[in-house]
Structure 1
Amino acid sequence: MSKKILFISNEASRTGAPIVLLNFLKWLKENTDLDFLILSLNDGPLIKDFQKLAPTYTLKLKRPDNPTFSKYIAYKLKLRFIAPIKRYFLLKKINSNDIGLVYANTIANGTAYHKYLSNIKAPLITHIHELDRVIKNYGEFNWENVEKYSDHFIAASGAVKQNLVDSYEIAEDKVDVVHSFVPVGNIARVNEERRREMFQLLNIKEGTFVVGGVGALGFRKGVDLFVQTLIKLSSLELHREVCFVWVGANLDSPSYKTFISDLKKLKLEHKIRFIERVPNPADYFSTFDVFLMTSREDPFPLVCLENASLKTPVICFENAGGISEFVEQDAGFVVPYLDISAMTSKLELLMKDEALRKKLGEAAAQKVKVRHDVPIASAEIKDIIMRFIDSQ
């Protein structure tokens, strides 16, 4: 193929969708001779990783972290006067390439299609990782342009596809489902010595039953439901100690302060740990006996796959996104939406039945390996791309 593929990422943060794209592009570089370039609408820590794979461009300047007043003023001046000129020449350079296909990662690129890329005459595939709440957050104008310019869609789960079909009247044959994926071989397996060190670091006694959760302290991730489950479980007569651990918290947020205040009044603050975003999350995941996904809406979160690959069963809500498509009947439990009592009951069962917990965890790890490893899903995406390239 002489023409190039333009891959668009809305950002280069260490979050789910950019990580999925990065893992796919690494596989594509190693396993095909397809030529491509990358456009990230925003800067971020993954930019250097993208640059190792192909020519990479960013449209927006990165705001400095904790800037002094003079650095903030300099940033604003660059944003006002230099960035538009840089953007003009950058887009001119991109448009000068012979683009044979545009592949846009996430729902967040609709405005960019309209504003910057509408003169590229090539098929456009949009890979959607979002459900309805997030799609609406980006606004009607953004979605209108996603729908207008996209020739085809890839959905990160069956739930994502169903939302496109039901809520946005996208034809079923215009959407392929490719479930999100992780590099199974690269997920760190923590040895027993390191696991003991993590228990000490978290000030949790060995033998405690640890329930894990991951994400920002927001409404969508359901951290309030995570806390309510702890309260419910603590009201029961349990045969062992229990501790809930949430990784990825912003300890400066009002939500965190509210949860801690409530738990102190209930004398339960010693049974929970809120951990900020860390560079070694697998170390913390290694302490989990169960991964409790309390999200109200989540397309197909990578953290579930990462925990499952560590032989940790998953408990989630039905009708809350795509992860129930992974859990099914053998990798954990799917309970009725927002049913805290049902979640608590399943946790109590797994606390009492270690053999069942291990069986579900083994099945979860095997399922990630055979269904959701990078080479398997990447080959599916490549086949979709080739359909459009070969049809030209």
Structure 2
Amino acid sequence: MSPSKMKKILFISHEASLSGAPILALNLLKRLKKERENYTIDVLLIRGGELYEDFAKISNNIVVAHYHLQSFSFLKRNLKRVESVIFKKKAETQQDKIDKITTMLLLNNYDLVYGNTMESLIWTLPFYKKNIPTIVAIHELSFGIESTYPKEFVLQNISNVTKIIAGSKAVGDNLVAKYGADVSKINVVHSFVDSVLTIQKDKESLIRELGIKSDDLIIGIASSQELRKGTDMVPLLVQKIRQKTDLSFKFINLGGTSKSPAVRCAKLDSEKLGIENNLLFIDHNKTPNDYINLFDIFLLMSREDPFPLVMLTAAKLKKPIIAFEKSGGAVEFLENGHGILAPYLDLDVMADEVIKLMKDSNLRETYGKKIHQRLEEEFSDEKLTLDIFNLIDELA
């Protein structure tokens, strides 16, 4: 591909929230813009969020579609000029809105459309039908997929894409086995974290700020608060750890907000179980690395998770990691002794494994070093982004 020939890419993200998939997408676009000067990038956000301005800064044009507002705005990169197209007041279907936005975007003659997450699939279909190469990066397993679309829709449309980037082997295998995806269209490219993680507050200062005792061992999760993530099990696990050991510890539940029903229920459970003094709830914030950096042990409570970004952050920070078997991408990351896998939803075993690590600082250090080494050698951000860029170059 000639360096002088400019190529136009439309990048679609399901939202601009401070969560794994949008953060990963933003990091990818920043690198693409830096390393591929002959690409111009437009961004379509299906929903907005805290990262909106970050996406706007790296795009030539940004489109935000708000279903609940029944409108969308087209904002120039400098954010000064705004053109709004308001949908008619008649009842519009979701497909009507998709058709209107994609019809406008098709006029831009893109060389490639890249959709991030399964939710973007329906938005890529009009481009695929016009023979524009499309890539859909799918991070979801069955629960996530079928929370977005009926299974029948996925079965009918999973082949209507040029290439699929599966966020883990578990994701790719599931797409083939359950939804009939074409194996030849699937490239497995795992999620990644930046080479250098930003830590804004040192451990000692943050521990004092949180009122944690210096001799407390810190166990924690970092997660959206929902059933799929298993956050409902946290109070029960803390209770079991309390019952099995006299070691002093604090469990940090990072994620959600104090207004979240899941958080409110967990707080209620912790009070009724008598473990509220061991459990600390921290709202979702822009500096999660600061809190993960405090952990002596990092847990994944997920029932289903493709390849969670926070797991990679914990590995980068050399934290020993425990997750459940049969839970998705964590298994392929932690298997062969790189981490600890407890039987699916077995809180007794998970508590036992936590206590083993609590009692043995050398064991914690060994697991932390092993998973960090694996991250650096097999899941480096340079290698994984190059895999994606090569695929983009090939199709565009």
Shorter-normalised TM-score: what interval?
0.7 to 0.9
- Structure 2 distance, partners of 1:41, 1:384, is 24
CA shift at 1:42, angstroms?
2.2
CA shift at 1:138, angstroms?
1.2
Equivalent position of 2:75 in the other structure: none
Equivalent position of 1:53 in the other structure: 58
CA RMSD of aligned residues (A): 2.7
Q: Which residue identity is paired with 1:52? A: K
- Structure 2 distance, partners of 1:283, 1:161, is 32
Q: Which residue identity is paired with 2:243? A: S
CA shift at 1:329, angstroms?
3.2
State the identity %.
Answer: 32
For structure 1, the residue ranges without an aligned partner over 5 or more in a row are 65-76
Aligned counterpart for 2:233 among listed residues 222, 225, 245: 225
Equivalent position of 2:283 in the other structure: 276
Q: Equivalences for 1:3-18 in 2 at 5 Å?
A: 3-18=7-22
- Structure 2 distance, partners of 1:139, 1:210, is 39
Q: Which residue identity is paired with 2:57? A: K
Q: Structure 2 vs 1, CA of residues 364 and 263 (structure 1 numbering), >3 Å: closer, same or farther?
A: same
Q: Which residue identity is paired with 2:241? A: L
- Structure 1 distance, partners of 2:359, 2:30, is 43
Q: 1:213·1:245 contact (CA, 8 Å) conserved in 2? A: yes
Aligned counterpart for 2:353 among listed residues 315, 324, 346: 346
1:229-264: CA deviation from partner (whole Å, max 9, x where unpaired): 1111111133x2011101113222333333323322
Q: Which residue identity is paired with 1:166? A: A
- Structure 2 distance, partners of 1:254, 1:21, is 28
- Structure 2 distance, partners of 1:250, 1:79, is 33
So what's the TM-score if we normalise by structure 2? 0.86
Whether 1:153 aligns to 2:164 is yes
Aligned counterpart for 2:28 among listed residues 19, 24, 33: 24
- Structure 1 distance, partners of 2:395, 2:104, is 24
For structure 2, the residue ranges without an aligned partner over 5 or more in a row are 70-84
CA shift at 1:270, angstroms?
0.3
1:252-289: CA deviation from partner (whole Å, max 9, x where unpaired): 23333333233223321100011111121122112210
Aligned counterpart for 1:216 among listed residues 224, 230, 234: 224
SS in 2 for 1:99: coil
Q: Equivalences for 1:291-310 in 2 at 5 Å?
A: 291-310=298-317
- Structure 1 distance, partners of 2:316, 2:225, is 24
Whether 1:188 aligns to 2:198 is yes
Which structure's residues are more often helix, by fraction?
A: 1
Q: Which residue identity is paired with 1:137? A: S
SS in 1 for 2:65: coil
- Structure 2 distance, partners of 1:220, 1:160, is 15
1:120-161: CA deviation from partner (whole Å, max 9, x where unpaired): 321211110111011111122652564252122110001101
- Structure 2 distance, partners of 1:55, 1:352, is 54
CA shift at 1:195, angstroms?
1.0
1:160-214: CA deviation from partner (whole Å, max 9, x where unpaired): 01110110111322211000011131x12467xx212222222211121111111
- Structure 2 distance, partners of 1:164, 1:148, is 11
- Structure 2 distance, partners of 1:24, 1:216, is 22
Q: Which residue identity is paired with 2:133? A: P
SS in 1 for 2:113: strand
SS in 2 for 1:312: coil
Q: Which residue identity is paired with 1:25? A: L
Equivalent position of 1:257 in the other structure: 264
